[in-house]
Amino acid sequence: MTSIITLRGGLTTQYLLPCTGGYLQVEAGDEKEFSLFLRKLKKAGVDPRQIRYLFLTHHHGDHAGFTSFLREVSGCRVIAHREAAHQLNKGKNAMVPGGGLTNRRALMLGALLVMLRKLNMRYTPVELKEGDMLVEGDDNELLRSLGIPGKILHTPGHTPDSLSLLLDDGSCFCGDAAMSRAQWALGTRYCCIIIDDMEENYRSWRKMIGEGARTFYPAHGAPFTPETLQRHLDYFKQDDLVFVKR
């Protein structure tokens, strides 16, 4: 799909995909970056009212943080995993028992971001409404009904509610199922810095590749190829996680 609009510049990248009557937006970033988002949207020549749907890859604040604000100016409908609903309603990041950070460098970065208030664990709660769409898992019909040639994949590991959006042309918007930002510094081998279940995360990599992903568009970092993920499969184990919550 050549008409994807990419909005970079904040902590989280947003993508706009053409759909029937406007755009589907992938990700809503941190709520403190909403004004920045609106400036980027204006520069791209898009009116907020053109955003018909918001696809949330998961409930974390750097992905769902300004959802409520965006709904006020656009009236968009939310698409998310059903397991995200409770945390969206609370406006709070969850971490499952046994989860942790990929390595100590990731732990240091996470602590720094929290200290600098660049990463919020809480955000304005999202009140899900009639017309919002919650999926149970993989879905091959919903996006097509909106005029988008693609499907939704359940890709847990980073969080239980993680979803990815895979277009028929192989473009895969994977949220935090994989990330490419600052690999040279973090050494996370394309894993996100926070992982709930490392083995499940790698299963999600294999699933996306097996379903035909050709180019990955992460929430954090530049696009990369499936060959990149294949080179790093199974590098970490669950026991490698640090700051584990038991």
Break the chain down into helix, strand, coil percent, rounded to 5: 35, 25, 45
pLDDT at position 121, please? 79
pLDDT at position 17, please? 98
Number of helices (H) and strands (E), helices first, in the chain? Answer: 9, 12
Q: Which of 190, 192, 182 minimizes the C-alpha distance to 62?
A: 192
pLDDT at position 113, please? 62
pLDDT at position 46, please? 97
Distance of CA 197 to the CA centre of its chain: 16
Alpha helices in the chain (DSSP H): 34-43, 61-64, 67-74, 85-90, 104-115, 142-145, 183-186, 198-210, 226-232
pLDDT at position 118, please? 55
CATH of domain 5-240: 3.60.15.10
Give the 3-state DSSP-derived string for 192-205, with helices as H, strands as E and coil as C: CCEECCHHHHHHHH
Q: Which of 15, 83, 1, 2 minimizes the C-alpha distance to 53?
A: 15
pLDDT at position 110, please? 66
Q: What is the pLDDT along the chain (246 residues), one digit of tens a residue?
A: 458 999 998 889 999 999 999 999 999 999 999 999 999 999 999 999 999 999 999 999 999 999 999 999 999 999 999 999 999 999 999 978 889 889 888 777 766 665 545 566 799 999 999 999 999 999 999 999 999 999 999 999 999 999 999 999 999 999 999 999 988 888 899 999 999 999 999 999 999 999 999 999 999 999 999 999 999 999 999 999 987 765
pLDDT at position 182, please? 83
pLDDT at position 119, please? 61
